[in-house]
A and B are shown apart, each in its own frame.
Chain A
Amino acid sequence: MCRIGSIKSKVPVHPSKALHLMLPQQEGHDNSGFAMVMQDLYGTFANYKDKPLLSMACTQKGNQMVEEYMDAHNFVQLAEWIPIPDKRPGLDIQAMPYYVFRNYDFPEHYNELSEEEKQNLLLDTRLALRKMLEEAGEGFVYSFWPDVLTLKEIGDPRDIATYFHLWDDHGGLMAKNIVVQCRQNTNYDIVRYAAHPFFLQGYTLCANGENTFYTKNKEFQKSLHRGYIGFESDSQCFLYTLHYVLHELKWPINYFKHVITPLPFEEIEEREDKEVLKAIRQSLAHLEINGPNTIIATLPDNRMITCCDSKKLRPVVLGQDENMIAISSEVCGLNEIMPDRDREKDIYPNEREVIVIDNELEVQRWKQ
C-alpha cells in the first residue's frame, strides 16, 4: 500500500518539507522511490511562470534528441536547471545520467493561438518527446507545462534527496504546491512512468489504493483522449478521469465524485437531480472506481482536492495552520511538519466527501 501526501502553502516551500511529511509514514511504503510534482514554482523558475517547463530524465543522447526536436519545432530555450548530483558512494538510487528541467518560450507564430490550442501543442509535444525517447530507450519525459516540475526516481527517497541536494533547501527549487509519494509503485513492473503523481495538462494526481476497475477504466479511456496513454499504473486512470470530467466534458468539479464513486441507485432515486446523476452513472459507468482508494490532486488553477472511495477503505487526513495545509495518508506525517497546529481542526474526509482547498487556503467540503 502506498502513502501519499501533499502540501499547499501560502509561502513557497522546499521539497524537503514534503520529504519530512512522508518519511514518518515509511512503515506503510517500501521506500522504493521518490516522486513529486511541484506547481506554482519559485526560485530558479520564478520568472518564467507562463513558459512551459520540461521535466525529464534521460541519457546524453536522449538530451540531444530532445534539443534537436525542440529546435526543429521552434521552441526557444529559456531558463534551465540541470542538477549536479551528489554522487557519494552508498546511495540507494538508480539514477539516470541526466535530469533536465528547462523552460521554453513558445514558437513565435504560436503566440496567436488560443489557450486551448496552446495546451494541445504542449501535450502533443510531450507525447512526441516521450514516444521518441521511449522508442530509442534514451529517457523519460514527465511533464511539459508552465510552472510545473516533476521529479521521479527509483531508490530510497532519503538518498534520492541527497543525490539532488534536496535537503540543502538552497532556494533554487521551491513551490507553493507539492504532491508527493515515496514508493516507486507498483504491483506491476518497476517502470519510472508508473510512479505517481501523474501529470496531464495542468492536472496532477496521486492515489493510494487499488483500482479494481482498472481494466474497465483503461479500455474506455484509451478511446477518449490521445493523452490517455501508458497505463503503467492503475492509478493513472484516476488522473485521466479527472482530466476528462473537468477538462474535456467541462463539468463542475462537484460531478467528479459522482463519476468515480456514484451513489447507489436507491440514494439517487431520492435526489432532486436524479435524472442527471443517473445519466452520468450510465454514460460513465466505465470510469467508476470500485476498490480502496484515496486521491489527492492539483488542478490547473492550483486548487488542491482530495477524496476517498465509497467505502472509505483507505485513510487520509488534512491538517492546517495559518500558512499551510497538508494532506497525508497518516497523521504522523502532519505531526512531523506541523507539530503545533490545532489538531482539532484536522479533517478526516468521509467516503462521500470531497475537499477542495483554494489558493487562499480556504477549505471547502461537501458531500456528493
Chain B
Amino acid sequence: MEAVKTQDVSVNDLSWKIEYHADRCTMCGSCVATCSFKAIEVKTQAQSIVVSTDSQPNPEHRHIARPIITQKASLTDYCRGCGMCEKVCPNNAIRPVRNVDTRQVLLSKDSGPIKRGGRTNLNAQRTLDSIVVGRISQMTDPSLDSARHTFDIRSPLGRVLSPKELPFRLENGKMVMDHKAPPVNWIYPLIFSDMSIGALSTRAWEAVALACAYLNEKCGLPVRMSSGEGGMPVKLMESDYLKYFILQIASGHFGWNRIIKAIPHMVTDPAGVLIKIGQGAKPGDGGLLPAAKVAEHVQAIRGVPKATLSSPPNHQGLYSIEESVQKMHLSLNAAFGFRVPVAIKCAASATSVSVYNNLLRDPYKICGGFFLDGIQGGTGAANEVSLDHTGHPVVSKIRDCYNAAVKQGLQGQIPLYGGGGIGLTGNAAADAFKMICLGANGVFVGKVLIQLLGCVGNEHGRCNSCNTGKCPMGICTQDPRLVKRLDVDKGAQKIVDYVLAFDAELRKLMAPIGNSSLPVGRSDALVSTDKAIADKLGIQYVC
C-alpha cells in the first residue's frame, strides 16, 4: 500500500472535481494544453480489462498501461471549474463538477490569506428581484409605445446647481448665462466601470473601449467608460476618442504621470474624472495588481517595475471628506480648467449618507457625482475574506442617500450612480431601472462586460482566478498565449448588442409607467413582494 498521511491533499478536498470518461477520450491532448491552471495532466494508468475481439465471444483478460487524464491533487495547481477542458474536448470526455464536500477554503491558507478575483460568494442575495415595476399606466394615463415614442434616456454627470444658484441674467427678456456654471455632461445612464489595463488584458480593455466608441459613433448612445486605475495609452489620450472616457485616479495614482504629461496634447476633454476612494468588492482595501500581471506594457503605462502593485487603502494626505473636496476635487478640476466634472467613487458603507451629505453641503459645489459600489461588485484581485465578509449592499444605500438629499431639498445636485451586482442575473436593464426609480441617476457595470467577453466566473466559486494572471479566457491576464484566445471584435460586438438590448429593455420598462424621461426617484413606480424590503425602501408592499 502507498504511504498516505491524513494531511495529504486529495482530489476530493478540492472545490472542483474532473469527471473524465476514458472510454470517450481520443487522447488528443487538447484539454491538457488548454488548461491554464495546469490542473490536469496526462498519466499512465495500469488497467485490467476483459476484451473479446473474435466474431464469437472469446473473452480475454489483459493487463495494459494506458495514458489517461487525471486531476492534480494540489492546492496550487487546482481546477477552478472554468470548463475550458470541456469546451475544447471534441468527444465530451471531460468536464469539471462542483464538489460539495470541498475542504479547500479550510486547507488553502498555508501561504497566508486566500487571494482571488471575481466577487463575493456569500452575499449574492438579490434585493432587486423582490421588486417589480408595479405602477402601470392603466386608464389613469396612457402607457407609451416603446417603439414609437421618443425616449430621453440621459443622466447628468457633474455638479448640478440649485435653481436659485443658476447664474442667469436677463437680457431683452431672455435669460443668458452670466458666468460659467460647473460642467455637467449628459451621458447614457450605463457607465462602463473602471477596469484597468493591467487588471484586464490589452485585448479585453480594447474590446470594451471599442464597444464604447461604437455605441457613441454608430448607435448614438453616449456611453462613457472609466479607464480604471492605471492610465490609458497616450495615443488614445491624444485622440478625439478621449471624450468617451472617464479618467480614474485611485490611491496609487498609477498612470497619472503620463496623463498629466498628455494634458497639453489633448485635443478634447475627457468625459470626467473619477476619484476612487474605494470599491465594493474589497472596501477599505487598496488596489492590487499581482506581479504576474505586470507585463511590459503595464510597466510602461504605469511607469513601474515588475512587482506586485498595491495601492494604499487611502489617498495619502487625505484625512477627511472636506479635505478631499479641497485638495483632490479642486486640483483635478483645476487640471482640466474646470471644464471636466470630477466625481468620486466609494464603497457603499454604513457611513455613505454622511459622506454624501458632506459633499452636498460643500461650499465649492465641486463634486460632480457620487458613485456607490456595493458588496456584489467585482475585482481583479482581493483577499477572499474581504470579498466575502466586508462591504455593504448598494440598493438600500442608494435609496438612503437619495432620501437624505430629498430631506434637504438637494436631490439631483450630486448625481448618484450605483454599481456592484448590477446585471448579476443577466438583466442589467431591469436592475438599472429599479435603481433609477429608487433615486440613482444611473448605474455602472464591470463584471457584466467581461462576462460578455467570455468570463465564466460567478458568485458560486467558479473560476474567479482573475488574480492569477492565468485567465483561461484571455481577459484578465497578460500572458500573450492566453490573450490570443480573445477575439477583440467579437467581444466588442457582444457588448454592443447587449447595450442595444439594454436600451430597448429600458424603454420597455419606461413605456408602461408612461414616462419618456428617466423616472429618477419615482419610487411610486415600484412595489415589493417582500415586506421588509418595502419598508426599508419606502415602497408599496404587495402580495
- Residue pair B412, A252 in contact (C-beta under 8 Å): no
Interface residues of B in 507-541 (CB under 8 A from A): 513-517, 519-524
Contact with B along A271-300 (1 / 0, CB 8 A): 001011011101111101011100000000
Residue in A220, A249, A276 whose beta carbon sits within 8 Å of that of B164 in the complex: A249
B173 to chain A: closest residue by CB: A252
Task: Name the interface size band of chain B.
Answer: 35 or more
A290 to chain B: closest residue by CB: B515
Binds B, one of A22-30, A84-92, A211-219: A211-219
Contact with A along B402-425 (1 / 0, CB 8 A): 000011110110000000000000
- Residue pair A224, B152 in contact (C-beta under 8 Å): no
B177 at the interface (CB under 8 A from A): yes
B350 at the interface (CB under 8 A from A): no
- Residue pair A216, B522 in contact (C-beta under 8 Å): yes
B409 to chain A: closest residue by CB: A223
- Residue pair B162, A283 in contact (C-beta under 8 Å): yes
Most buried by A among B150, B152, B176: B152
- Residue pair B152, A291 in contact (C-beta under 8 Å): no
Shortest CB–CB separation between residue B540 and chain A, in angstroms? 11
Interface residues of A in 183-237 (CB under 8 A from B): 187, 209-210, 212-216, 219-220, 222-224
Cα–Cα distance between A310 and B406 once the two chains are bound (Å): 26
Cα–Cα distance between A222 and B521 once the two chains are bound (Å): 15
- Residue pair B184, A282 in contact (C-beta under 8 Å): yes
B137 at the interface (CB under 8 A from A): yes
Residue in B141, B166, B514 whose beta carbon sits within 8 Å of that of A279 in the complex: B166
A313 at the interface (CB under 8 A from B): yes
- Residue pair B137, A264 in contact (C-beta under 8 Å): no
- Residue pair A285, B412 in contact (C-beta under 8 Å): yes
A73 at the interface (CB under 8 A from B): no
A110 at the interface (CB under 8 A from B): no
- Residue pair B176, A219 in contact (C-beta under 8 Å): no
Chain A residues contacting B144 (CB-CB under 8 Å) are: 311
> Given the known A-B contacts A215-B522, A215-B524, A288-B517, are A255 and B175 also in contact in the complex, defined by CB atoms under 8 Å?
yes
Residue in A209, A252, A280, A286 whose beta carbon sits within 8 Å of that of B141 in the complex: A209
Chain A residues contacting B161 (CB-CB under 8 Å) are: 279, 283
Chain B residues contacting A255 (CB-CB under 8 Å) are: 175
- Residue pair A216, B152 in contact (C-beta under 8 Å): no
Chain A residues contacting B163 (CB-CB under 8 Å) are: 244, 249, 280, 283-284
Shortest CB–CB separation between residue B361 and chain A, in angstroms? 14
A81 at the interface (CB under 8 A from B): no
Cα–Cα distance between A316 and B520 once the two chains are bound (Å): 29
B401 at the interface (CB under 8 A from A): no
Chain A residues contacting B160 (CB-CB under 8 Å) are: 282-283, 285
Interface residues of A in 235-268 (CB under 8 A from B): 244, 248-249, 251-252, 254-255, 262, 264-265
Cα–Cα distance between A265 and B154 once the two chains are bound (Å): 8
Cα–Cα distance between A282 and B415 once the two chains are bound (Å): 10
> Given the known A-B contacts A282-B156, A313-B142, are A290 and B516 also in contact in the complex, defined by CB atoms under 8 Å?
yes
- Residue pair B516, A278 in contact (C-beta under 8 Å): no
Cα–Cα distance between A77 and B252 once the two chains are bound (Å): 74
Cα–Cα distance between A278 and B514 once the two chains are bound (Å): 23
Cα–Cα distance between A254 and B173 once the two chains are bound (Å): 9
Chain B residues contacting A244 (CB-CB under 8 Å) are: 163
Cα–Cα distance between A244 and B152 once the two chains are bound (Å): 25
Cα–Cα distance between A262 and B156 once the two chains are bound (Å): 15
Cα–Cα distance between A219 and B402 once the two chains are bound (Å): 11
Chain B residues contacting A214 (CB-CB under 8 Å) are: 524
Chain B residues contacting A262 (CB-CB under 8 Å) are: 517
Cα–Cα distance between A210 and B142 once the two chains are bound (Å): 9
Cα–Cα distance between A222 and B408 once the two chains are bound (Å): 10
Residue in B175, B515, B521 whose beta carbon sits within 8 Å of that of A276 in the complex: B175
Shortest CB–CB separation between residue A315 and chain B, in angstroms? 13
Cα–Cα distance between A14 and B407 once the two chains are bound (Å): 45
Chain B residues contacting A216 (CB-CB under 8 Å) are: 519-522
- Residue pair A273, B517 in contact (C-beta under 8 Å): no
Cα–Cα distance between A264 and B517 once the two chains are bound (Å): 9
Shortest CB–CB separation between residue B539 and chain A, in angstroms? 10
Task: Name the interface size band of chain A.
Answer: 35 or more
Chain A residues contacting B411 (CB-CB under 8 Å) are: 219-220, 286
B186 at the interface (CB under 8 A from A): yes
B184 to chain A: closest residue by CB: A282
Chain A residues contacting B184 (CB-CB under 8 Å) are: 278, 282
- Residue pair B517, A224 in contact (C-beta under 8 Å): no
Chain A residues contacting B406 (CB-CB under 8 Å) are: 219-220, 223
B168 at the interface (CB under 8 A from A): yes
A279 to chain B: closest residue by CB: B166
Chain B residues contacting A275 (CB-CB under 8 Å) are: 177
Most buried by B among A215, A282, A285, A286: A282
Contact with A along B136-159 (1 / 0, CB 8 A): 010011101000011010101000
- Residue pair B176, A286 in contact (C-beta under 8 Å): no
Most buried by B among A187, A276, A284: A276
- Residue pair B513, A212 in contact (C-beta under 8 Å): yes
Interface residues of B in 105-153 (CB under 8 A from A): 137, 140-142, 144, 149-150, 152
Cα–Cα distance between A244 and B162 once the two chains are bound (Å): 13
B218 at the interface (CB under 8 A from A): no
Chain A residues contacting B170 (CB-CB under 8 Å) are: 252
A244 to chain B: closest residue by CB: B163
Chain B residues contacting A224 (CB-CB under 8 Å) are: 409
Shortest CB–CB separation between residue A222 and chain B, in angstroms? 8
Chain B residues contacting A276 (CB-CB under 8 Å) are: 168, 175-177
Chain A residues contacting B522 (CB-CB under 8 Å) are: 212-213, 215-216
A216 to chain B: closest residue by CB: B521
Cα–Cα distance between A283 and B163 once the two chains are bound (Å): 5
- Residue pair B140, A187 in contact (C-beta under 8 Å): yes
- Residue pair A219, B521 in contact (C-beta under 8 Å): yes
Cα–Cα distance between A77 and B10 once the two chains are bound (Å): 98
B261 at the interface (CB under 8 A from A): no
Cα–Cα distance between A249 and B168 once the two chains are bound (Å): 10
- Residue pair A285, B175 in contact (C-beta under 8 Å): no
Chain A residues contacting B519 (CB-CB under 8 Å) are: 212-213, 216, 290
Chain A residues contacting B150 (CB-CB under 8 Å) are: 264
A212 to chain B: closest residue by CB: B514
B220 to chain A: closest residue by CB: A266
- Residue pair B186, A252 in contact (C-beta under 8 Å): no
> Given the known A-B contacts A210-B140, A313-B141, are A290 and B412 also in contact in the complex, defined by CB atoms under 8 Å?
no
Chain B residues contacting A223 (CB-CB under 8 Å) are: 406-409
B61 at the interface (CB under 8 A from A): no
B174 at the interface (CB under 8 A from A): yes
> Given the known A-B contacts A210-B140, A212-B515, A255-B175, are A278 and B186 also in contact in the complex, defined by CB atoms under 8 Å?
yes
Closest 10 CB pairs of A and B: A223-B409, A210-B141, A215-B524, A291-B141, A283-B163, A282-B160, A219-B406, A264-B152, A212-B514, A290-B515
26 A-B pairs with CB atoms under 8 Å apart are A187-B140, A212-B519, A213-B515, A213-B519, A213-B522, A214-B524, A215-B522, A216-B519, A219-B406, A219-B521, A222-B409, A248-B164, A249-B163, A252-B170, A254-B173, A273-B176, A275-B177, A276-B168, A279-B161, A279-B181, A283-B162, A283-B166, A284-B163, A290-B519, A291-B514, A313-B142
Known: A212-B141, A290-B515. 4 other contacts (CB 8 A): A223-B409, A254-B173, A264-B150, A283-B163
- CB within 8 Å of A: which residues of B? 137, 140-142, 144, 149-150, 152, 154, 156, 160-166, 168, 170, 173-177, 181, 184, 186, 406-409, 411-412, 513-517, 519-524
